[in-house]
Amino acid sequence: MTSLLLFAGGLVALVAGATLLVRGASLLALRLGLPPLVVGLTVVAFGTSAPELAVSTGAVLSGQGGLAIGNAVGSNTFNVLFILGVSALITPLAVHRQVIRQEAPIMIGAAVLLIVLGLDGSLGLFDGLLLLGLLTVYTVFLVRQSRAEPAAGGRDEFADELQPASAGRWDATLPAQIALVVAGLVLLVLGSEGLVSAAVSFARALGLSEVIIGLTIVAAGTSLPEVAASVMASLKGERDIAVGNVVGSCIFNLFGVVGLSSLVASFGAGGALPVPADVARFDLWVMLAALVACLPVFISGREIARWEGALFLAYYIAYTAYLVLAAQRHAGAQAFGDAMLGFVVPLTIVTLGVTMLRRARR
């Protein structure tokens, strides 16, 4: 009962902290003159991933490296398959041209790099510095690109949603915006401590590994800000934001969350962030397959149709079913996993690719 209350309290603190952080940081970025698209792809997307960052670094400091990597990888899989799937079922999602030609390839490249870096079974100091360095380069590039390019014509949903605070509002002043950021960070730290402690207790009580808990319960819990942001954007008809938030969050998870966790782990007793064999063999590849599947979906008509959203959601259910079978050491888990990676996922990617080519020819 205590662990359940700790988990719920930590989750509430994480969501509230992310909300305050996103609001304060967005207003500060707009005050500095950053375009709404850049704010959406960086400040908002990174802010909604703050719970993943807090939980993963907290897990490393607590000696739970498996929970840290499981949370980052599981959150990306959840973001793409579950959040985009549910959002597309609400309304077909539009995809911003910049996301297609720039952010999606960067997201896929980051996943490939993580798999390569994890081939030796761990992520050390160099790996962490490389990932964080790439995140810095990406962010600086986005800001410079936005300042160099003229404003694009047409409706910008990020501009509609992300507006500077009017003079009469309480959060229009600089001190109020800084206070929002600080309060958000404090809640994130407190929430992450409670969530990590509860997750470890759950894992021990249920006989599950920390990795499985990180890939499922913790990954879904820390992704609640992304769920709220994307689903609300879909309901409000702001379809660009739903996709941009997810893609930006995935990039931050790969570069920022894993990078900082690796850096923190490198100064600990273990000297590196371990990449469990099961994660390297299966979960990283499932995440990569989900991210790769996004590209033909994004390109084909520049939207995610309802049937594609349903397909994503079905894959997430199948992936979760595999994790449950594997945790119970079910005899069919291995065959189920091999079928997903060796047949179902490649067939889906080929089908989506053919669909993309047919639409392009039309």
Digit-coded pLDDT (tens) for 73-96: 999 999 999 988 888 888 887 777
- Mapping DSSP to helix (H, G, I), strand (E, B) and coil, where does residue 49 land? coil
Given this model, what pLDDT does residue 77 score?
92
The string of pLDDT tens digits covering residues 290-325 is 888 887 667 765 677 788 888 889 889 888 888 877
Given this model, what pLDDT does residue 125 score?
92
Q: Which residue has the tokens 């809640």?
A: 187
Please, what is the angle between helix 65-77 and helix 174-206, to 10°?
Answer: 110
Instruction: Give me 185's structure tokens.
Output: 């960070």
Given this model, what pLDDT does residue 349 score?
64
Contact 286, 349 (CB under 8 A): no
Q: What is the DSSP string of 93-115?
A: EE--HHIIIIIHHHHHHHHHHHH
pLDDT of 137 over the 90 cut: yes
pLDDT of 56 over the 60 cut: yes
pLDDT of 338 over the 80 cut: no
- Mapping DSSP to helix (H, G, I), strand (E, B) and coil, where does residue 304 land? strand
- What are the boundaries of each domain within the chain? 2-361
Higher pLDDT, 316 or 361: 316
Given this model, what pLDDT does residue 262 score?
93
Given this model, what pLDDT does residue 129 score?
95
Given this model, what pLDDT does residue 340 score?
66
Q: Which long-range contacts (CB under 8 A, 24 or more apart) does 127-131 make?
A: 127/259, 127/262, 127/273, 128/258, 128/259, 128/260, 128/261, 128/262, 128/263, 128/264, 128/265, 128/266, 128/273, 129/259, 129/263, 130/259, 131/254, 131/255, 131/256, 131/258, 131/259, 131/262
Given this model, what pLDDT does residue 65 score?
84
Query: How far apart are alpha carbons 265 and 125 in whole angstroms?
Result: 8
The string of pLDDT tens digits covering residues 227-276 is 877 777 777 776 667 787 788 889 999 999 999 999 999 887 567 899 98
Q: What is the domain class of 2-361 according to CATH?
A: mainly alpha
Q: What share of the chain is helix, strand, coil (3-state, %, to 5)?
A: 85, 0, 15
Name 204's Cβ contacts closer than 8 Å, sequence gap at least 6: none
Query: How far apart are alpha carbons 21 and 51 in whole angstroms?
Result: 11
Given this model, what pLDDT does residue 357 score?
66
Given this model, what pLDDT does residue 153 score?
44
The string of pLDDT tens digits covering residues 26-52 is 777 777 777 666 776 777 777 778 888
User: 141: how many CB neighbours lie within 10 A of its CB?
Assistant: 12
Instruction: Give me 254's structure tokens.
Output: 């790969």
User: 327: how many CB neighbours lie within 10 A of its CB?
Assistant: 19
Which among 60-64, 122-126, 180-184, 296-300 has the top mean pLDDT?
122-126
Among 70, 107, 81, 85, CA closest to 258:
70
Residue 154: which pLDDT band, with cuts at 50, 70 and 90? Answer: very low
Given this model, what pLDDT does residue 99 score?
80
Contact 196, 62 (CB under 8 A): yes
Inter-CA distances, 287 with 4, 39, 123, 182, 253, Å: 29, 25, 18, 32, 12
The string of pLDDT tens digits covering residues 280-289 is 888 999 899 8
Give the CA dihedral 59, 64, 68, 74, nearest 10 degrees: -120
Name 19's Cβ contacts closer than 8 Å, sequence gap at least 6: 184, 225
Instruction: Give me 151's structure tokens.
Output: 């404003």
